[in-house]
Amino acid sequence: MNNSSPLAERMRPTTLEEYVGQKHIIGEKTFLFSSLKEGRIPSMILWGPPGVGKTSLAELISKECKRPFYALSAINSGVKDIRNIIEKAKNPNLFKNGSAILFIDEIHRFSKSQQDSLLAAVEKGWVTLIGATTENPSFEVIPALRSRCQTFVLEPLAMEDLKHLVNHAVEKDSLLSTKKIDIVELEALIKISGGDARKLLNALEIVVLNQTGPIKITNALVKEIIQNNLATYDKGGEHHYNVISAFIKSVRGSDPNAAVYWLARMLLGGEEPRFIARRLVILASEDIGLANSNALLLASQTMEAVHQIGMPESRILLSQCTIYLATSPKSNSAYEAINKAMKLAEETHQLPVPLALRNAPTAFMKDLDYGTDYKYSHSGKGNFIAQNFMPEEIKGEKLFEPGHNKKEKELKELLKLMWANYYEY
State the Cα–Cα distance between residues 76 and 89, nearest whole angstrom.
21
**pLDDT tens by residue, 302-320:** 999 988 887 788 899 999 9
The pLDDT of residue 380 is above 70: yes
pLDDT value at residue 84:
84
Q: What is the DSSP letter of 259?
A: H
pLDDT value at residue 277:
92
The pLDDT of residue 201 is above 80: yes
Which of 247, 297, 239, 238 has the alpha carbon at shortest distance from 275?
247
pLDDT value at residue 230:
44
The pLDDT of residue 93 is above 80: no
Q: How many residues does the chain have?
A: 425
Domain 159-229 top-level CATH class: mainly alpha
Q: Which is higher by pLDDT, 371 or 391?
A: 391
**pLDDT tens by residue, 164-195:** 888 888 888 888 888 888 888 888 888 777 77
Domain 238-326 top-level CATH class: mainly alpha
pLDDT value at residue 89:
78
State the Cα–Cα distance between residues 56 and 79, nearest whole angstrom.
24
Q: Where are the domains of the chain?
A: 21-153, 159-229, 238-326, 346-418
Contact 19, 53 (CB under 8 A): yes
**DSSP for 323-373?**
HHHHTS----HHHHHHHHHHHHHHHHTTSPPPGGGS---SHHHHHTTTTTT
The pLDDT of residue 18 is above 90: no
The pLDDT of residue 373 is above 60: yes
Which of 208, 202, 225, 206 has the alpha carbon at shortest distance from 11?
202
**pLDDT tens by residue, 94-103:** 555 567 888 9
pLDDT value at residue 231:
46
State the Cα–Cα distance between residues 102 and 128, nearest whole angstrom.
6
Question: What is 21-153's CATH topology?
Answer: Rossmann fold (3.40.50)
Tell me what the mean pLDDT of segment 27-38 comes to: 84
Confidence of residue 2 (pLDDT cuts 50, 70, 90): low
What is the reported pTM? Answer: 0.53
State the Cα–Cα distance between residues 35 and 192, nearest whole angstrom.
36
